[in-house]
Amino acid sequence: MTTSQAESGATYTASLGVIDLPAIVRYAGASGDFNPMHYDRDLAQEMGFDTNFAQGMFTAGLMSVVVAERHTPEALLGFGVKFVSPLWCGETPTFSETVTDTEPGTIELALEVRVGDRVVASGWARVKPRNGPAVAAAVK
């Protein structure tokens, strides 16, 4: 492994795009999670929430795909997410990935999804390093 590939502390950020009602409904169809709190604004507000919000596993899935595509799908050894606050319908979250440790054969990553200063989810991933500059080139 070369140090340029994944230096501890290297951070990558990316927008996850707007999580609007069509995106939430599309994920509901794909996953089968049809809890109405995710697509029915009036019901969510009746239950005391600001509005309807994305499925937690939708956020987790978006995080996992960003990591897997950056490091290649075969490189992902493990992934975890902790749900911290709701991702409200219409928000545009930002994903960040920070290298926390590098060992022979593995890179440890800290993950976070935020909307502004608010943390929506935090997580971790463990990936296999790969030779070549592709990952280093994408680190901002």
Kindly list the residues in this chain that would bind another protein in the complex (CB under 8 A): 16-17, 23, 26-27, 29-33, 56-58, 60-62, 64-65, 67-69, 72-74, 76-83
- The residue among 9 and 109 lying less far from another protein, judged by its C-beta, is 109
Query: How near is the Cβ of 26 to another protein at its closest, in Å?
Result: 5
Which own/partner pairs from 46-52 qualify as long-range (CB within 8 Å, at least 24 positions apart)? 49/86, 50/86, 50/88, 51/88, 51/89, 51/90, 52/21, 52/24, 52/88, 52/89
What is the rounded CA–CA span in Å between residue 53 and residue 20? Answer: 9
- The residue among 12 and 83 lying less far from another protein, judged by its C-beta, is 83
- The residue among 19 and 99 lying less far from another protein, judged by its C-beta, is 19
